[in-house]
Chain A
Amino acid sequence: MSYQRLSRDQLAARIARDMPDGAYVNLGIGMPTLVANHLPLDREIILQSENGLLGMGPAPVPNEVDFDLINAGKQPVTLLRGGSYFHSADSFAMMRAGHLDISVLGAFQVAANGDLANWHTGNADDIPAVGGAMDLAVGAKQTWVMMEHFTRDGQCKLVERCSYPLTGLACVTRVYTDLAVVDVTANGFALIETVDGLSRSELEARSGLSFVA
């Protein structure tokens, strides 16, 4: 049987669907930012941005761009009615003490025990940058990863043990890829769903791992 990978927007919409009403959510830079475009209209979900915003709104119309009002990816945003501004330590307190309900992060690798690698490739030539990644990884009530299932050269990014430098230990609770939704459980990866036409056994074979029952 043939199957189609989810596009980035489809994946973002799939993640947004699982966000409960009233959730406080931080969307990491890169791909997770797309989730904001797909928040369900019948729920009120409050976005936090690490640079000191709560209640982040959509991108401004061009003549309302204000470069003092940007998101973590340094793109201009707006603030919703009811939003607030605060300093960086208060912003990170929201993450570090578990006030945030969900943090959505990109990743290089996620291990079966929930270890996350997303800040450094480990290549000596690469200039490392961590930003808020480590705070976001360990602080929120739930850490979700949004990533492609395979690297460009076909390596599965769900792994038994991360080979890249770690961002946080046993912190990931759920992984959304372009092929599947996977929970991290005490016994390893548990398969929640696959894209239409992709069987569990085929995904296991291609991924080189077996999901727990």
Chain B
Amino acid sequence: MALSSGQSKRDFYNRCMIDKTQASVATAVADVPDGATVMIGGFGGAGMPVALVDGLIVQGARDLTIVANNAGNGETGIAALLKAGRVRKVICSFPRQADSYVFDALYRAGKVELELVPQGNLAERIRAAGAGIGGFFTRVGYGTPLAAGKEVREIDGQMYVYESPICADFALIKAELGDRWGNLTYRKSARNFGPLMAMAATVTIASVHEVVPLGDIHPEHVVTPGIFVQRIVEVQRMEMAA
């Protein structure tokens, strides 16, 4: 394509209309409704968007379905959301941990529903939703209680089970750098489910430790392109327990 007369490269750069940055966590999560399905990033504490989850607790949405790898540690993040009584159902791979006592007690009391999904299937089901794929066949889980009642198919002499996509109304994820277009980088193993969840939710809200000027994230280093992110909000880095 070529520039038309009167249009210069500088005009392209100077147009400054898209700005996905939010003034505060409170405004970023203000419209999460009761009954929403909310994906929450993180593997244990790494990548857990604690500031956004705390904002959601203050905001007050109830009856939530949470999609996450774990069901919370101690009394922070997802555990705090559970403790506040806001969660109806958890879709996750590994709820039980040394300090998952909040989830454990609610589950035993029948106060929270659990859909347990093998971790690779969880990641791929989220990815399928984000990529517009209507599910997939996998060998993982075939013949086990976690695949009971699911469609099966023989492919090249192996048995596979059908797994459906998991989408969400909102995704809360923790990233490292972000810009006004919503481009994101992550930090170390805190990346985990973040890029997948960003693609699978109608509204993706990312907390970042620094909002940088457009172009500061090298185009080869963008991990989540801004098209998958609707809001970013800068939060202070917090020390996380494992």
A interface residues, Cβ below 8 angstroms from B: 21-22, 24, 33-34, 36-38, 41-44, 46, 48, 54-55, 57-59, 71, 75, 77-86, 89-90, 92-100, 139
List of B residues within 8 angstroms of A78 by Cβ: 9
Among B28-36, B102-110, B130-138, B232-240, the one that faces the other chain is B130-138
A79 is contacted by which of B132, B183, B199, B219 (Cβ under 8 Å)? Answer: B219
- A48 and B227 in contact (CB under 8 A), knowing A59-B1, A80-B12? yes
List of A residues within 8 angstroms of B179 by Cβ: 82
Least CB distance, B115 to chain A, in whole angstroms: 22
List of A residues within 8 angstroms of B18 by Cβ: 21-22, 44, 46
Q: Is B142 an interface residue (CB 8 A)?
A: no
Q: Is the CB of B1 within 8 A of A55?
A: no
Q: Is the CB of B2 within 8 A of A24?
A: no
Bound form: Cα–Cα A179–B151 in Å: 51
- A97 and B4 in contact (CB under 8 A), knowing A54-B227, A82-B181, A86-B225? no
**B contacts with A, residue count (CB < 8 A):** 33
Bound form: Cα–Cα A133–B181 in Å: 27
Bound form: Cα–Cα A78–B228 in Å: 22
List of A residues within 8 angstroms of B222 by Cβ: 84-86
Given contacts A58-B12, A84-B219, A86-B225, 10 further A-B contacts (CB under 8 A): A41-B11, A41-B15, A42-B17, A43-B15, A54-B226, A71-B1, A77-B1, A78-B9, A93-B199, A97-B199
Bound form: Cα–Cα A46–B180 in Å: 13
List of B residues within 8 angstroms of A79 by Cβ: 219
Bound form: Cα–Cα A126–B112 in Å: 60
Which residue of chain B lies nearest to A101 when distances are taken between CB atoms in the complex?
Answer: B227
Least CB distance, B28 to chain A, in whole angstroms: 17
Q: Is B220 an interface residue (CB 8 A)?
A: yes
List of A residues within 8 angstroms of B132 by Cβ: 93, 95-98, 139
Q: Is the CB of A96 within 8 A of B225?
A: no
Q: Is the CB of A81 within 8 A of B215?
A: yes
B181 is contacted by which of A55, A71, A75, A95 (Cβ under 8 Å)? Answer: A55
Least CB distance, A12 to chain B, in whole angstroms: 10
Which residue of chain A lies nearest to B5 when distances are taken between CB atoms in the complex?
Answer: A37
Q: Is the CB of B17 within 8 A of A22?
A: yes
Bound form: Cα–Cα A79–B180 in Å: 16
- A54 and B225 in contact (CB under 8 A), knowing A46-B181, A59-B3, A93-B130? yes
Task: List, sorted by A's number, 26 A–B pairs whose CB atoms are closer than 8 Å.
Answer: A21-B17, A22-B18, A33-B1, A37-B4, A37-B7, A57-B9, A57-B12, A58-B3, A58-B12, A59-B1, A59-B2, A59-B3, A78-B9, A80-B12, A82-B179, A82-B183, A84-B183, A84-B226, A85-B219, A89-B131, A93-B131, A96-B131, A97-B130, A97-B131, A97-B132, A99-B199
List of A residues within 8 angstroms of B7 by Cβ: 37, 41
Bound form: Cα–Cα A48–B2 in Å: 16
Query: For B13, B199, B225, which residue has the most chain A Cβ atoms within 10 angstroms?
Result: B225
Least CB distance, B65 to chain A, in whole angstroms: 20
Q: Is B155 an interface residue (CB 8 A)?
A: no
Which residue of chain B lies nearest to A93 when distances are taken between CB atoms in the complex?
Answer: B131
Query: For B131, B214, B226, which residue has the most chain A Cβ atoms within 10 angstroms?
Result: B131
List of A residues within 8 angstroms of B15 by Cβ: 41-44
Taking CB atoms and an 8 Å cut-off, the chain B residues in 155-182 that contact chain A are 179-181
Which residue of chain A lies nearest to B7 when distances are taken between CB atoms in the complex?
Answer: A41
Q: Is B25 an interface residue (CB 8 A)?
A: no
List of A residues within 8 angstroms of B130 by Cβ: 93, 97
Bound form: Cα–Cα A36–B179 in Å: 24
